[in-house]
Structure 1
Amino acid sequence: MADHYEVLGVSRDASPEEIKKAYRRLARELHPDVNPGADAAERFKSVTHAYDVLSDPDQRARYDMGGDSPFGGGGAAGFGSFGDIFETFFGAGGGGGGARGPRPRSRRERGQDALVRVTLELGDVVFGVHRDIDVDTAVLCETCEGSCCQPDTQPVTCDICHGSGHVQQQVRSLLGNVLTNAPCRVCQGYGTTIPYPCATCQGQGRVRARRTVSLDIPAGVETGLRLQLPGSGEVGQAGGPNGDLYVEVTVKDHETFSREGDDLLATLEVSMPDAILGTTTTIESLDGPVDLEIRPGVQAGDVLTIKGRGITPLRGNQRGDLRVGVHVVTPTRLDHKERALIEDFAKRTKAPSPQLAQFHQGLFAKLRDRLRNG
């Protein structure tokens, strides 16, 4: 059996790093994926077996005392893919710094998104409104400024994985000894440990706090709409980037006005004389008084439209309309003279007798049907 040191071309007092470098050089030259010759395949087996023995301190000690590997020389019989060989032996887990090997985890993580709810009056929806919102969230720790360490201290390189965040484990298999990379349990894959964590944040780099977020809520929002504020959510662990903040809107019901798309709906009570003769009145809209003309002979359920007094759309600038449904109020208490006038009016007009008309479910249903149908 050939001497393992001679197979790798190193001296008997070669360091582990020298043995690894020698194996890398020979593996690149002899691996079957690169060199398909039969002689190269046999040499690759010998080189791999020699490395299996000499890279393990216990096996190397037994070999130096005249023994050999207890597992035999089957380590390369299956010839894993060229990429697997290089990732296993030349990756970051083995300290060689190969670009394809596993890298340590970053302590910095993106923060979670946050959701808050805000309640608006209907009048806020007409033009939009500015709000300062208090948010209970995670903010950057002012003591350590996200470093997770006590002041004047810093993370130290893990002495188990030497900063790679991973360790190599030798696993016995049917093909011999296989080296695999696994996250380091000491540093949890970060490659560093924090011997003196910040007492304020317990080594998290962030703390819980309330902060105020200024928000311009646009016109035209409606219940259930969510507004996104990028980067206004929770700060990430170890001072990582903030998540997003979502603001969910609820619009309160108004005692006078209701909403239909970008239009506002309202009901106007008109006395019977005004309905017959017509009149002009001033009503209070959500953005101030406005004059409204009631034409003579207006009927209950008629819709009077005031242009441009509705809601500014969410994406646009042309406001909807204010649509007013007429409700004619019939007097219920008449004195003797008033009753006589009404009776005389009825005789003069010769109004038809009451009769059935098309069924409808109240003034609001009738009003909405007329709005939808144009």
Structure 2
Amino acid sequence: MMEEDRDGLLGVTAHTIRVTEAVRDGDSLTFIVISQKLSGSGEYHVARTHEDFQWLQECLFNPEEVPGILGVISPPLPAKPHLNAPTKDLKPLGFLVMGKDLGTYCKVLEIYLQQVAANTRLSKNKCLENFLTSPEAPGHQRVRKSIFNRLSQAMEGLRKEGHKDVDSFFQTERDNNFTLTGFSKTATERFVDVVLTEQKLAVACGHLSTCLHLCVEQRDDHAAQAFSKICVKLSGVVDSMQKNFENVSENNLSTLGLGLDLETRYHEAEKEMLFRRTCKLVELETASRNAERAKPIKKAAMDDLKMKSEKEFDQISGVAKQEIARFHSVHVMLLRQALILWCEKQLVTARETFTCYSQHLQAFRDLGE
């Protein structure tokens, strides 16, 4: 979403990046990433796990790489898919694992990489070049944090999350983000329920169609033959109903479903950016207090630390304002595109279903005559 065309920063062309398939190996997945060389003379083919994607996401926000990078709204990386997991454990992934295969999940990872590569600041990170071109698996370098570190960070996060902002622009944005994130999550969860219900109805129609076929009799009397014909005709109608539910649910999944999912994850990404800025604000306020209370022998060092923190905070705030402006101008357009595509696909499905039901109705009329 937060993107500009700066392919020259990479050895690959951003819009040619593709995640073509997910290879299963027991309970693990490996994703095949293909990208076109900038020279146009060939392609890079690399295999990456979800841990490698997580490693890349962490590397992208190294403050030492690009000044103000913590103010960037990162393209959101979807949660790791868990194969053979109970249905309740798949709920956080929602629409990403509800398709017939992992093609939808691969598409989301592809969009993620394209948006990272097209971002003027994120594409400067050398880790991205390594991720897209190196045959080695970079994710093996990822440092795993202990449960105690994660708990400590969670408690620290709760403390800083409610910290009052000094800038009314960012405080208003944080308040709005909190509200919109909740609404988008609720809308996505409700739409997931709709798609699940449509899928259950499709399965039920399949069972009913089978039961109607079991009612067909091979006797020679006229009444039995008439009853069998009706059962066969009804079975065809129910088969059409099953196909309609399957098509409608697939349309919901691939259009508005993914649009809502992307909307939710981008609001979460903006929330993470705003939180990073808040953490830097707390750090600046602490440095300012320490500089005021410092003894003469440490005064110069504390003042330097304060100036460094203030410079970093101003850089992050400047980048954040640019990112927020782009975010508001683009995310509504993306959701609108999903809604338009959803309507178009459902109209096509409705016309096809109308034609099919009209044929069934004429068949019943002919049977009555």
TM-score normalised by L of structure 1: 0.23
- Give the structure, 1 or 2, with the largest relative contact order (CA under 8 Å, sep 6 or more): 2
Tell me which protein shows more strand as a share of its residues.
1
Larger radius of gyration: 1
TM-score normalised by L of structure 2: 0.23
